[in-house]
Structure 1
Amino acid sequence: MLTHTTARRPLGAWKSVLRHARQQRPTPVSLLRTMTTQTTPDTPSAVEPPPPPMPAATPKPSPPKPYLHSLKPQRPNTPTRSTFAVYPRVPSSRALTPAPLESYHAQQVRRLDRKGLRTRLFSKANPDAAKPGDVLQVTTKRGEPFAGVCLSIRRAGVDTAILLRNTMTKIGVEMWYKIYSPNILGIEIVWRRPKRARRARLMYMRQPKHDMGNVDHLVSEWRRTRNVFSSKGKAGKGKDASATGAKGRR
């Protein structure tokens, strides 16, 4: 009985030793479970090309060089500083790099207004330009011409627009027109405000106290004067023809 138990103990000890040795044995790389990907050897064909060189930075413009300005000393016996450096004016960044949106608007304006007449009609530099408070008439491709008092001029490049107000059948009607729209055939000044308006937006003219009402009488008078000036030559020719006919009859 005792010999049987002593014979089993060494066998169990050997099993535990072999089990520990099997766990400590190095495992081949192919059997390991890892999250890394297999890499290719660094062969000349598989080497990635070098990244392209970075573009060279544009050199910064050198600062303007000053020039020396000398003054004549008022007292020759007293030493004074008679020469100092004067630096020229630094150019603005807006002039060197114009905004892309402004360049695009200028390009569209040149395309839509080739002669520059509409630009000059609403330019602040033009003393005869249309101003808020004037009566303007807009002729479009479709519909009858619309005349009204200019309440506001919204200057926004190619999207420059004017707001006209008129009264039709005792109802106030306001219309926005974009001056560079291809649907507009012409914009004419019917009547000019005697005094310059002190505001850029005459929204107070919507009130009954300041509303000009219907401007059709100003439009009819303006058309009458245009017809007089345009038919003056024809009327003169008609008188001469009647006079010659009367002489021939005599």
Structure 2
Amino acid sequence: MATPTPTLRPLSCWRTLLRHARQQKVATRSLTTYHKSVTFSKFEIPLPNAVKIPTKIKTYPPPPSPAQKFKEPLKDFTNDQLSILDPTGARSHLFSKTNPEAAKVGDILLVRLKTGDPFAGVCINIRRRGVDTGILLRNELTRVGVEMWYKIYSPNVEGIEVVQRREKRARRARLTYMRKPKHDMGSVQNIVLAYQRSRGAMAGGPAQQQKKGNKKGKGKKK
């Protein structure tokens, strides 16, 4: 009887066998690691198929948004600044479009400053920009035309007075044509001086009359 000869396998066959064995080993390890036994305490009731109810996460509402309170932030900011710069609202009322007695282009305005000499001139432009509202006054000083921009809400502006109103309503928003020699009003200093004299007479009228009466009485006694 012939002795059986051992079968010889090539090296590549052994490599495939080892590779399959290694893959099976990794698969068994993954199954064992991912399988966890659920343990219940003595106060918990075990559910079928070992299903555990997940705990509820506590949630908080979102913080309040400033957009809900300030729907128009620019308008609110403008009103806040106006309440600081013009608490009485007199300047806003003086240049308001809804006010029938508001200052308009063509009127002669007198601007009094806290630091500096007052300036009077014909208002040839009113630029309404909220807090940056400004007026352009034109006057003639030493036979030279001078134009000055003034912010009506500036802290340096002490007061604005209407010296003389225009007889007819101006048909333009900007009276730039008054820069031409044909339409230039020239100096308004005489009109301003007459206005100041009338204001002084109205302010000190009764007192001056009383002083005059006292002087006349003293003269008669003598």
Q: Normalising by structure 2, what TM-score?
A: 0.70
Alignment pair present for 1:233 and 2:189: no
**1:53 shift after superposition:** 6.3
1:191 corresponds, among 164, 169, 173, to 164
2:137 corresponds, among 118, 139, 164, to 164
Tell which deviates more after alignment, 212-221 or 190-199. Answer: 212-221
Secondary structure of the corresponding residue to residue 115 of structure 1: coil
Q: Is the Cα–Cα contact under 8 Å of residues 102 and 157 in structure 1 kept in the other structure? A: no
**1:133 shift after superposition:** 0.4
Instruction: Give 1:152's aligned amino acid.
Output: N
Give the share of equivalent positions with the same residue, in percent.
48
Instruction: Give 2:157's aligned amino acid.
Output: I
Tell me which stretches of 4 or more aligned residues in structure 1 moved more than 6 Å: none
Unaligned runs of 5+ in 1: 1-6, 30-40, 56-96
1:105 corresponds, among 71, 75, 78, to 78
The structure-2 alpha-carbon separation of the partners of 1:165 and 1:48, relative to structure 1 and needing over 3 Å to count, comes to farther
Alignment pair present for 1:49 and 2:57: yes
Equivalent in the alignment of 1:22? 18
Partners of 1:132 and 1:125 in 2: CA distance: 15
Kindly tell me the number of residue pairs found equivalent between the two proteins. Answer: 191
Partners of 1:143 and 1:237 in 2: CA distance: 35
Q: Normalising by structure 1, what TM-score?
A: 0.63
Equivalent in the alignment of 2:124? 151
Secondary structure of the corresponding residue to residue 127 of structure 1: coil
**1:47 shift after superposition:** 7.0
**1:162 shift after superposition:** 1.4
**1:238 shift after superposition:** 2.6
Secondary structure of the corresponding residue to residue 147 of structure 1: strand
Q: Deviations over 1:50-98 (max 9, x none)?
A: 554689xxxxxxxxxxxxxxxxxxxxxxxxxxxxxxxxxxxxxxxxx97
Partners of 1:192 and 1:23 in 2: CA distance: 106
1:216 corresponds, among 186, 189, 195, to 189
Q: Is the Cα–Cα contact under 8 Å of residues 132 and 153 in structure 1 kept in the other structure? A: yes
Name whichever structure is richer in helix by fraction.
Answer: 2
Unaligned runs of 5+ in 2: 28-35, 37-51, 64-69
Partners of 2:149 and 2:97 in 1: CA distance: 20
- What is the 5 A alignment of 1:42-121? 49=57, 51-52=59-60, 99-121=72-94
